[in-house]
Structure 1
Amino acid sequence: MQSTVFRSFVLLSCTFLGLICGTLYLYSSYSPQLALRLHYLATGSSSIALCGSLGTAVVGPLAGVVVDRNGYSAALFIGGVSIVLGYLLLKWQYDAPYSNLPFSCFDLFLVGCGSTFINSLCLKCCAVTFPSIRGVATSLPLALYGLSAMFYSVVASVFYAGDTLGFLYFLIVSLIIIFLICCPAIVQCDKRRFSKRQRTEVVEMTTFGPEPVDPLELQMHGVHHNSEISGMKLLRTPRFWLLFIITGALASLGQMYIYSVGYMVKALVIFSYELPPDVLENVHAIDILVQNQQQLQVSLLSVTNCVGRLAAGIVGDIVNKNLRKPRSWLLFLPSFGLILTQVMALNISHYEQLGPTSILTGFFYGFTFCIMPIIVGDVFGMENFSQNWGLVSLAPVAPSFYFTNLFGKVYDLRSSTGESGYTSCLLGGGCYDLVFKLSLGVGILSLLAVAMFNFGERYVASLNLYERRRSSVSVK
């Protein structure tokens, strides 16, 4: 039995490793400055963000296989090297400056890949180390994942205002320090894990099998609990595809807002400014205000993202353990919430109105990304959890790419270049409103998918029961 002190140290290490994983969300706070330095349009800047998201998604299944089969240490090494290398290349490119969009995309792709490797090992490590409080344990590293952008945004605004290069240097050094401090506990946890597997198969099944479920819980949860499912059997399961659709829809709405809010701020600040933005003496004042507002929105998104992840873990355990209900019922909350945020975004006319939308978007996005992997473990078991969650986490790739890329294209089409060479969009919310009209439809689709996941199989089962009873009556 692992000592309480060691388990606590493992939990702390996984929690602070979440700080490394979440730096990808920081991109929107410096993306306009990076684009200006390297002469990228909004579409190009959006493509860089998309490649970061692509990295987090496409390596999900591979990271899952590495964690499930090779342990935590290998994933930790791959993830740490990828993240640090990605930021080193980005810093070099900014410093040179070396304007090459595919290269910039590759930089953030590496960061995204590394984030997924470390996040996968943290989730699995916490879930199997604390099986009785799985929701709370996994919510802690996920919470710092969400809080990471806020932490670094505050540092940037206080110590590196207007110094993007200096901030990137600080970011790299801090990531290396956190990695080196947290590494020993994860490696030791790996050694203890494989030592137990060699001693007895019973311990292995206890450690990596699904959490015991009593008969009452099975009765209350019905179809929402299952035995270990993975591989091709998983792909033939309707519940997998419903979770895939829900994850893709909800995550893409959050990611589009997170990666595009920097340009939303810029459009609304210029629209709210009393003087023409292309006058040279106004450009500097506008840029300062834009950067301040960008830092504010990123901080709001980060804090509420963290709160949403903590809330999902705590409420999920309460619903599951105390109320004896499936955690999947909680998916209605982010579905309704993200529909609301799309409506709010359509009605923003001033940059000071962005705050409530950022707060709610961060909360519901964080809630989604904490509760969803726990639901995957509940429904499909923990033995192949990392692989299964890796497959589900592929869902946001296509919709996130579409919406974020569409945002950049719409913004560029509605922008113009003044006599001073300053490119801007003067339409305020009109610079991007088309995107939120389309994303509102995706939010409604997610709500329908959540309803089908929670009630669809029960409805079909009740119909089958009704038909059997009807047939038996007719025979009599």
Structure 2
Amino acid sequence: MSSPLLKPTGAAEDSKFNTGFRNIRNISISAGTSRSITPPLSIAPSELSEILSIKRRRQLQWLRYSAGACALISCLSAGSLLLYSLYTPLFQRRLHYSQMQINAIAIAAELGLYLFVPLFGWICDNYGPDRLSIVSVVLFVPGYVSAAYCYDHRLSHMRMFFSFLLIGAGTVCMYLTGITTCAKNFTKMRGLALAVPISAFGLSPFWMSQVANSVFLKDTEEGDGMKELDVSGIYKFFAVYLFCIGLLGSFFLKIYPDPDLDEIVLRGETAPLLPDSPVAVEHMEYGAAVMSNNPKVMPPTVKRRLLNDDTRNFLGDQTMWWFAAGVFLTAGPGESFINNMGALIKTIQPASSANSSTGDETATHVSIIAITSTFARLLSGFLSDYLGPPVEPAPIHDEEETDGKRFRISRITLIMFFTFLMMASYALLSSGYIQVHPSQFYIISSLIGVGYGAVFTLSPTIVSVVWGVENLATNWGIIAMLPAGGASAFGLLFASVYDTEAGRQNSGENGIGDGLCFGLKCYQNSFAGMAVSCFLAIGLWMWAWRGKGGWVARGVSV
């Protein structure tokens, strides 16, 4: 039964619409933008073939690929926040921040990165990624300018706290513009459409750390002939660079129709999960809800009401909370490790090296995490598309033939495997093996890079598969709020263990000073807790998948 809100006003027009629905090639703009180029219903199907000429189709393809290219550039430029571990040794040595204060600044960045995602996702879904790109400029520029000012004038950590709050918010804005543009312009290969821009985001700290460690160097204040990072210069560079990238995105990051799609699939496989949506669909095809995006049929107000109602149903789904809790328990340790890696590398070195610079080594491991993370994002996206259960609506007999010939593996199995790699790395750190063999720290950075990258690729992919792509930015934004709490909790855990041991080591006359800490006791308990956290996340995802009322019980193929 169709909703009256979705019917044309005239009976004749209604008849014409229903008769020609399957023959008319709908070229409505994909969800996520209020602009539409849908032809009027009065055009006959024979005339539409002339409108969609070869030239027009090529133009649409070029626009979509140009938007995709700009999305990749935005994601390649959005990861400047991931260089935070490069600055922490200098925050400690030059600004005399304690580990707890350093983690407080990191928590500010995480709050900005995750806390406002639902708001930015709503802006992106309703007004388009080009508008959100402008918002990223408004956040990035004052954030980095004020951070440079705080560093130059040795201001308190609370001043730096608010600077990184803005930087974190700008990061998620630019990140969302990239993945939303790709996800809604290239819906046929959903896993890769998300994996490629997410991989670009993961790769961004690689080139940024190399540039920072090669170009932005200056003599140390001690005049000992050594070099250290020019932190203030890095911040000023990012303020100018990200201003340019944000303006570029405001011109090119738009959603365009796919000329090869006869219809726009708005709900797809989400129909079993959202049975109470007040907006009915026009018809059902292979279990997927399909509706026209014609402004006469679904005006912007109805579309926004649909998004709001779907969000309400999404929040009422208990499996979403189990899944989100797992993301909380895996993202928190990963973020904490990346933020504190500079201090951790210093900690596993002998105390005699306290005054030596660790910038080169930290930059190397930032690059290792970036490369392995990028590889894992691409690999997990590929596996999600080609080994995961199919999600696009397809004739039943074709789906059965495909499943009979191709090996399938659930996306939940994939995300649990990569989480296990992270858990193993935390357990290895806690065991003390790396403290005895510090040269093998690359094993830890590689495993965490692989696990972290795959988890952050598969998580939004699973959200798009279970709850649909129409409301992806908003739905994923809601889940992405929780890692802010996880990053805060595990960052404070690391800082508390570190500062407690540092206080003990520096209590005597032979202490190193500056709040530095050396040895296994500086981090053993915190990483043991992170290993347990990953184990719990695996259990929660298993319950959301196969537990009572889980996705398997609902017939949702994940």
Instruction: Report the TM-score when normalising by structure 1.
Output: 0.83
- 2:352 is the alignment partner of 1:352: no
Structure 1 residues 77 and 177: alpha-carbon distance in aligned structure 2, compared to 1, 3 A threshold: closer
Of residues 177, 180, 188, the one that matches 2:244 is 177
Identify the residue that residue 243 of structure 1 maps to in structure 2. 323
Identify the residue that residue 314 of structure 1 maps to in structure 2. 382
Of residues 332, 335, 342, the one that matches 1:252 is 332
Structure 2 stretches lacking a partner, 5+ long: 1-56, 218-227, 272-284, 290-305, 391-405, 554-558
Task: Count the aligned residue pairs.
Answer: 431
| C-alpha distance in 1 between matches for 2:262 and 2:495 | 49
Structure 1 residues 293 and 429: alpha-carbon distance in aligned structure 2, compared to 1, 3 A threshold: farther
* Cα deviation, residue 459, structure 1: 8.2
Identify the residue that residue 423 of structure 1 maps to in structure 2. 514
| C-alpha distance in 1 between matches for 2:141 and 2:265 | 32
Structure 1 residues 80 and 19: alpha-carbon distance in aligned structure 2, compared to 1, 3 A threshold: farther
* Cα deviation, residue 332, structure 1: 1.5
Structure 1 residues 79 and 426: alpha-carbon distance in aligned structure 2, compared to 1, 3 A threshold: closer
Identify the residue that residue 134 of structure 1 maps to in structure 2. 190
Bigger radius of gyration, 1 or 2? 2
Contact preservation (8 Å) 1:76, 1:121: yes
Contact preservation (8 Å) 1:14, 1:126: yes
**Counterpart amino acid of residue 206 in structure 1:** I
Structure 1 residues 301 and 407: alpha-carbon distance in aligned structure 2, compared to 1, 3 A threshold: same
* Cα deviation, residue 329, structure 1: 2.9
Identify the residue that residue 473 of structure 1 maps to in structure 2. none
Contact preservation (8 Å) 2:77, 2:201: yes
* Cα deviation, residue 328, structure 1: 2.8
| C-alpha distance in 1 between matches for 2:246 and 2:173 | 13
| C-alpha distance in 2 between matches for 1:376 and 1:126 | 16
- Deviation string 1:164-220 (CA, Å, 9 cap, x unpaired) is 22222333333233334444211xx25x57xx9xxxxxx9971655479985999xx
Identify the residue that residue 432 of structure 1 maps to in structure 2. 523
Of residues 86, 89, 110, the one that matches 1:53 is 110
Matched residue SS, 2:416: helix
Identify the residue that residue 363 of structure 1 maps to in structure 2. 450
Q: Which has the higher helix share?
A: 1
Greater shift after overlay, 53-62 or 395-404? 395-404
Identify the residue that residue 77 of structure 1 maps to in structure 2. 134
Give the alignment of 1:367-446 within 5 angstroms: 367-415=454-502, 416-417=505-506, 422-423=513-514, 425=516, 427-446=518-537
* Cα deviation, residue 334, structure 1: 2.0
Structure 1 residues 372 and 426: alpha-carbon distance in aligned structure 2, compared to 1, 3 A threshold: closer
| C-alpha distance in 2 between matches for 1:205 and 1:383 | 14
Matched residue SS, 1:314: helix
Greater shift after overlay, 369-378 or 262-271? 262-271
Contact preservation (8 Å) 1:250, 1:334: no
| C-alpha distance in 2 between matches for 1:459 and 1:75 | 35
Contact preservation (8 Å) 1:132, 1:211: no
Matched residue SS, 1:269: coil
- Deviation string 1:18-64 (CA, Å, 9 cap, x unpaired) is 12321111111112213333221111001111111111111011011
| C-alpha distance in 1 between matches for 2:410 and 2:288 | 9
- 2:438 is the alignment partner of 1:338: no
Identify the residue that residue 538 of structure 2 maps to in structure 1. 447
Structure 1 stretches lacking a partner, 5+ long: 197-202, 219-226, 278-282, 463-476
Of residues 234, 238, 248, the one that matches 1:167 is 234
Structure 1 residues 237 and 460: alpha-carbon distance in aligned structure 2, compared to 1, 3 A threshold: closer
* Cα deviation, residue 426, structure 1: 5.1
- 2:73 is the alignment partner of 1:5: no
| C-alpha distance in 1 between matches for 2:114 and 2:365 | 24
Instruction: Report the TM-score when normalising by structure 2.
Output: 0.71
* Cα deviation, residue 371, structure 1: 1.0
| C-alpha distance in 1 between matches for 2:475 and 2:263 | 18
Structure 1 residues 327 and 158: alpha-carbon distance in aligned structure 2, compared to 1, 3 A threshold: same
